[in-house]
Amino acid sequence: MNFCSHCGQPVRFDIPEMDNRPRYLCDQCGTIHYQNPRLITGTLPVAPDGRILLCKRAIEPRLGYWTLPAGFMENGETTVEGALRETVEESCVDGRNPTLLSMISLPEFDQVHVFYRVDMPNYEFDTTPESSVVDLFEAGDIPWEEIAFRTVSATLRHFLEHIEADPVPVLNTAVFRHRR
C-alpha cells in the first residue's frame, strides 16, 4: 500500500495512537487502513458410494496438483454459501448437507481455510476453467504426493481418520507456524 484509497495521498506505516501495531495511515484525511486475514472456504465432496472428489488445478498456483474445491470467500455471503459456490465453480458439483470439517489458520499467509464435508446427490461433476480434471477417489487411491496445499492434505487426513464418527469433530489448528 503506497497511497490512501480514500483521498489518494501517500500513506505512512506507523503505530496509531491507542494502538499497538503499525498500520497504513493517511495524514491528509486521517483514515487508518486496517489489513486483516482472508477466509478461504471449500468442501470435501463425498459421492453416494463414499468416494471423494478431487480437482486437478488448471490455474496457478500449484497448477497440475490435486485439490479440494475452495476459494476466497466473497463479501455478502456466508461461509457455507462461499464453500458451495466454489464447489460449483471448480467441479460443477451441487453439494448438500454441509457439515463443518476443518478451520486451519495460516498465519504466515494471513489466511484462514474453512472446509465443509458435503454429500454429492449423484455422480454429476465436470471440469471447469479452474479444474482440468475432476475425479472420484477411493481413500486408498488419494495421490498424497500431488496434493496442492497442506490445508487440503490435513483436511483429507482428518476426514479419513474420523470417517466413522458422527458428527466428525472439527479440526481446528494452524499450519506454517514459523517465525515471521
DSSP-assigned letters across all residues of 119-137:
E-SSS----BTTEEEEEEE
Number of residues near a copy of itself (by CB under 8 A)? 47
124 binds a copy of itself (CB under 8 A): no
The reply on whether position 114 binds a copy of itself by CB under 8 A is yes
DSSP codes of every residue in 20-65: SS-EEE-TTT--EE----EEEEEEEEE-TTS-EEEEEESSSSSTTS
Neighbour tally for 10: CB within 10 Å: 11
Residues 4-33 that bind a copy of itself (CB under 8 A): 4-11, 18, 21, 24, 33
- Residue 45's nearest CA partner among 55, 56, 37, 30 is 55
Q: Write down the least CB distance from residue 51 to a copy of itself, Å.
A: 25
Is 162 a residue that touches a copy of itself (CB under 8 A)?
no
Which residues from 61-100 bind a copy of itself, rule CB under 8 A? 72-81, 100
Q: Which residues bind a copy of itself (CB under 8 A)?
A: 1-11, 18, 21, 24, 33-39, 72-81, 100, 103, 105, 107-108, 110, 112, 114, 129, 167, 169-170, 172, 174, 177, 180
